[in-house]
Amino acid sequence: MKKKALYKSIQREIFQSKTRFLSILGIILLGVCFYVGIKATGPNMIDTADHYFRDKRLMHSQIVSTMGLYDEDIRLVEDNPDVLDFQAGYSLDVNLTNENVVMKLFSYDTERKNNLNDYRVIEGRLPKQSGEIALDSRADTLGSYNIGDTFTLKTDEEAKANVAKTSFKIVGFVNSPLYIDKVSRGNTSVGKGSIDYFGVIPEEDFNMDAYTELAVRFKDLERVQSYSDTYDQRLAKHEAALEKQFADRPAEKLAEITSDAQKEIDEAESELRDGQNSLDEAQSQLDAALGEVTQNLSMLTAAEAMGQPVPQAQKDQLTSAKAELDTQQAELDEKKAELADSYETLAEEKQKLSELEAPEYFFLSRDDTPAYSEYHENAKRLSSIASVFPVFFFMIAALVCLTTMTRMVDEKRSEIGTLKALGYANWEISLKFIVYATLASVAGSVLGLIIGYNTFPKIIFNAYGSMYNLPDVRLTYYTSYSVQSIVVALICTLLSSLIVLRIDLLSTPAALMRPKAPKPGKRILLERVTWLWSRLNFNQKVTARNLFRYKQRMLMTVIGIAGCTALMLTGFGVRDSIGDIVTIQFNKLWHYDATITLNDDSSDAEKEAYQAALTGLPEYEDQLQLSQNTFEVVKQGYTTHDVTVDVPQQTDNLDQFVLFNDRKTGAVYSLDDEGAIINEKLAKLFDIEAGDTVTLKNADRDTYRMKVSHIVENYTMHFAYMTPAYYEKVFGETPVYNVDLVRLNTSLSDDREKDIAAQLMATDGILNVSYTTQIGQALDDTMNSLNIVVWVLIVSAAMLAFIVLYNLTNINISERIRELSTIKVLGFYDNEVTQYVYRENNLLTLLGVGVGCLLGILLHGFVLQTAEVDLMMFPKTIHAMSYVYAILLTFLFSLIVMMVMHRKLKKVDMIEALKSNE
């Protein structure tokens, strides 16, 4: 009977306090939803990419060689016991001269069932027979292509020689796991220097003697998640083993090539010697015949001069014979010249053979493919934000739930006393609150888990969809995050209820059935400031007394509002910091427009042709030559990082290209011969200060010591700048200038950028042309995708702010319902009663906003520090409008809440509220 009565009491309590029950459920729902949704998004991104890579059998490692790959190379991989699968293939970079487009052709084995680096068909199908081609899905955005159209390779003869056909039928559009980025397709040494899209043709349509690449997959990486530490460690071990396997191949291949070439040279020499002997013998015979004819002709001429009769027929015959012999001599001389040219060519071939170097073998990984590492950085950045923001978010929700449940127990004080007087055991009395709190927590948690896991990852991943060619996000319910959320939710409600309830359960029924004695009136501190207190009107004095009379309620309200304001301000601040990176880096710090990578092997004539083409551009303004090399920064106990060492040939105009600026003081520095200038993030990673010495290591593992003169503002990548004299002092060699920074006198359109790049690349003096606009746009795209995450944070924080304000205001009014009814009986109008509460709320909101802004600045800095990756630094500034937005939103929610409460106050039953609890 008791249980039945208790269950009815629980049902009645839920239905009678629907607002409170739903507010607790809503706060738990929002907290859990936000927590698990944001926490799961980063792992879901990694999991989605990993399944895509596994499904398409993306290579773990790739082997390429400067002289191509042959059967001997393939056999080495085949003999490796750790290799699961491998596939050799062809690729060719083609400059489509009619479109100023560079495409990369890949071979496709139509006979093999499970191709490595397989393609995801977007439309149509993959090629099945010779003469068919599937294009990159990006090709459709750069040109008007349709399935069934004829695709013609209009390119140079050298490229055409490597393919069996130049016309193909388009049969489909595909994506490749090698290019998860929608834009980047890598760089090349042909055309304008960058690849626009790729095409896939049957292997038989290639006309090459050697394979260009060999894809490899390893057994123990098949089930290991990409991007994990285990994956990286095992891959490093396998790559080291491959390098060891191929250690002798360069020398073997060089010997093989040298031997084959020497045989050809020997055969050619033999043929030339035979030819020389034949020519010598022919010359001897011709000289004899020519001598005889010349002698006979001279005798006839002499006889004729002495008046002797000479037969004309004989004379004509000798003249004709001499003319024929002269012709033969000319032909013989021509053959001698050809033979001399052949000897010269053979000498050149011998020289080339003597200078021939062993081929280089390169062992590439997924990190060398465009956007693979960038995608990981984005996921890590998101996970970093998720490790801070949701926790803080949940803390605010927990605080409000604690306040709400504490208020509920206080309200039921007399009921608890009555139940104790009727003989109910403490656990029976507690059951009502346990079920109430548990039901609200579990219901809110379950709904939060469902919404969070299914909503946030989709929203955020779809934002990245504009950047990456990946399938839809894989949604996973993570047990750890779910358990954490439910446990925290129960702690917020159930545990807080039991703690407060325990105090009441220890009291006697008589004490519980009497209402708590009101707090005694005391003079507040403000009253002691008489000159100020005397100037306050009645309403202002009442407001001040009420605020300081209920210090706990005031503190909880201020903390709740401050937390929500801080969350919104942090969201807006992160948006500002993200948006400022491109502007500051590419407008304030870097003043050049293009970076041109020079060809070290180019001749003087090619360098002159390039310089003439560059300075002949109508947009050209200035240039600065740099020596640019990459080193590792090493320090005991710290993670190694790459740094680009830039050495300007001239330093007098360096400030026209790069600004060396102290972010905090604004001081501007210049290079000197006593040390280098490094970027702030690098200094932070290694705890470096001006005057410290840094250890650099090159690819040959040689170490060098570099002194740091100044630390400057920079937001992407790591750089060290030094003068040529200091470079020689550190590295013991003269810098080789291999990069040009170019300033233009106007901004360029995309088409003009392509035209200039193609024009410069045609000189053969350079390897690549990249524009800061392209780099900035790529960085901006990455940051914009993170902006979606920020907006999710802002909207979620705003929703939490509204619920928190509503809940706290509702508790405030519920606690003071007798007081408010009293002033209504005394003649206060409805608007005046609302203002009576609203004045307090305004002051608390104002105080909470002030504290929230200070807290938001600290939280903003902490989030940025956590979210930063090693290659990037965020500006630590929050725009003035972000403060305005956060403050206005908080006050707007406060106003909306009071409008809702105004309607509630109008409906208050004064007589019922004023009835005695006795």
pLDDT tens per residue, range 193-216: 678 889 999 999 998 889 999 999
| 3-7, 495-499, 581-585, 623-627: range with lowest mean pLDDT | 3-7
Mean pLDDT of 876-889: 90
Which of 355, 385, 410 marks a domain boundary?
A: 355
Closest C-alpha to 434, from 483, 500, 481, 484: 500
Residue 676: pLDDT band (50, 70, 90) is very high
Residue 913: pLDDT band (50, 70, 90) is low
For residues 562 and 654, membership in a common domain is answered with: no
For residues 226 and 302, membership in a common domain is answered with: no
| pLDDT, position 668 | 93
Structure confidence by residue, pLDDT tens digits, 340-360: 888 888 888 888 877 778 888
Q: Would 898 be classed as within a structural domain?
A: yes
Q: Output the CA angle 660-666-672, nearest 5 degrees.
A: 35
Mean pLDDT of 88-98: 84
Structure confidence by residue, pLDDT tens digits, 509-522: 777 777 666 666 66
Q: Would 97 be classed as within a structural domain?
A: yes
| 23-37, 433-447, 653-667, 821-835: range with lowest mean pLDDT | 821-835
Which tokens is 856 given?
A: 């938001």
| 145-154, 470-479, 820-829, 836-845: range with lowest mean pLDDT | 820-829
C-alpha to C-alpha distance for 772 and 753, rounded to whole angstroms: 11
**More reliable by pLDDT, 513 or 619:** 619
For residues 595 and 744, membership in a common domain is answered with: yes
Calculate the alpha carbon distances from 620 to 589, 594, 885 in Å.
Answer: 20, 11, 44
Contact 64, 369 (CB under 8 A): no
Q: Would 241 be classed as within a structural domain?
A: yes
Contact 217, 365 (CB under 8 A): no
For residues 749 and 777, membership in a common domain is answered with: no
Structure confidence by residue, pLDDT tens digits, 223-259: 999 998 899 999 999 999 999 998 888 888 888 888 8
Residue 533: pLDDT band (50, 70, 90) is confident
| pLDDT, position 699 | 66
Q: HSE-up of 495 (CA within 13 Å, CB side)?
A: 9
Calculate the alpha carbon distances from 648 to 331, 613, 655, 707, 760 in Å.
Answer: 60, 22, 11, 18, 22
Calculate the alpha carbon distances from 918 to 411, 490, 825 in Å.
Answer: 14, 34, 21
Domain count, the chain: 4
Q: Which residues pair with 217 in a beta bridge?
A: 85
Closest C-alpha to 683, from 729, 720, 647, 631: 720
Q: Would 857 be classed as within a structural domain?
A: yes
C-alpha to C-alpha distance for 199 and 206, rounded to whole angstroms: 13
Output the CA torsion sign for 586, 591, 595, 601.
Answer: negative
Structure confidence by residue, pLDDT tens digits, 589-613: 999 988 888 876 678 888 888 888 8
Q: Would 68 be classed as within a structural domain?
A: yes
Mean pLDDT of 804-823: 72
For residues 243 and 271, membership in a common domain is answered with: no
> How many Cβ atoms sit within 10 Å of the Cβ of residue 704?
15
Contact 399, 807 (CB under 8 A): no
Q: Would 780 be classed as within a structural domain?
A: yes
Residue 918: pLDDT band (50, 70, 90) is very low
Q: Please enumerate in sequence order all residues whose Cβ is within 8 A of that of 215, keeping only pairs 6 or more positions apart, or say none.
A: 59, 61, 62, 86, 87, 88, 89, 116, 117
Residue 550: pLDDT band (50, 70, 90) is low
For residues 764 and 781, membership in a common domain is answered with: no
Closest C-alpha to 730, from 694, 701, 700, 683: 694
Structure confidence by residue, pLDDT tens digits, 774-787: 777 766 766 666 67
| pLDDT, position 52 | 93
Mean pLDDT of 382-408: 73
Which of 221, 251, 281 marks a domain boundary?
A: 251
| pLDDT, position 860 | 87
Instruction: Flag whether pLDDT at 64 surpasses 80.
Output: yes
H helix and E strand count, the chain: 28, 20
For residues 69 and 154, membership in a common domain is answered with: yes
| pLDDT, position 5 | 66
For residues 780 and 880, membership in a common domain is answered with: yes
**Enclosing domain of residue 318:** 258-355
Q: Would 86 be classed as within a structural domain?
A: yes
For residues 302 and 182, membership in a common domain is answered with: no
To the nearest whole number, what is the mean pLDDT of the chain? 82
| pLDDT, position 56 | 93
Q: Would 799 be classed as within a structural domain?
A: yes
Residue 724: pLDDT band (50, 70, 90) is very high
Instruction: Flag whether pLDDT at 790 surpasses 70.
Output: yes
Residue 894: pLDDT band (50, 70, 90) is confident
Structure confidence by residue, pLDDT tens digits, 143-191: 678 898 898 887 777 778 888 888 899 999 999 999 888 777 877 767 6
For residues 799 and 892, membership in a common domain is answered with: yes
For residues 733 and 791, membership in a common domain is answered with: no
Query: What percent of the chain lies above the pLDDT cut of 90?
Result: 23
Length of the chain as a residue count? 918
pTM of the model: 0.72
Which of 200, 217, 251 marks a domain boundary?
A: 251
Residue 336: pLDDT band (50, 70, 90) is confident
For residues 601 and 690, membership in a common domain is answered with: yes
Structure confidence by residue, pLDDT tens digits, 366-390: 888 877 887 887 788 777 777 777 7
C-alpha to C-alpha distance for 454 and 458, rounded to whole angstroms: 7
